[in-house]
A and B are shown apart, each in its own frame.
Chain A
Amino acid sequence: SAVISQKPSRDICQRGTSLTIQCQVDSQVTMMFWYRQQPGQSLTLIATANQGSEATYESGFVIDKFPISRPNLTFSTLTVSNMSPEDSSIYLCSARLYGTNTEAFFGQGTRLTVV
Chain B
Amino acid sequence: GENVEQHPSTLSVQEGDSAVIKCTYSDSASNYFPWYKQELGKRPQLIIDIRSNVGEKKDQRIAVTLNKTAKHFSLHITETQPEDSAVYFCAARGGGADGLTFGKGTHLIIQP
Interface residues of A (CB under 8 A from B): 31, 33, 35, 41-45, 47-48, 56, 58-59, 92, 101-109
Contact = CB atoms under 8 A, between A and B. Distances in A.
A48 B43 contact: no
A16 to B, nearest CB: 28
Interface in B44-66: 44-46, 49
A108 B46 CA distance: 13
> Which A-B residue pairs are the 6 nearest by beta carbons?
A45-B99, A106-B43, A104-B46, A43-B102, A42-B102, A33-B99
Contacts, number: 48
| Interface size of B as a range | 10 to 19
A56 B99 CA distance: 10
A103 B100 contact: yes
Given A31-B98, A42-B105, 13 more contacts: A35-B99, A41-B105, A42-B104, A43-B89, A43-B102, A45-B100, A47-B99, A59-B1, A102-B46, A103-B34, A104-B46, A106-B45, A107-B43
Nearest to A31: B98
Given A42-B89, A45-B99, A58-B99, A103 B105 contact: no
Contacts of A105: 46
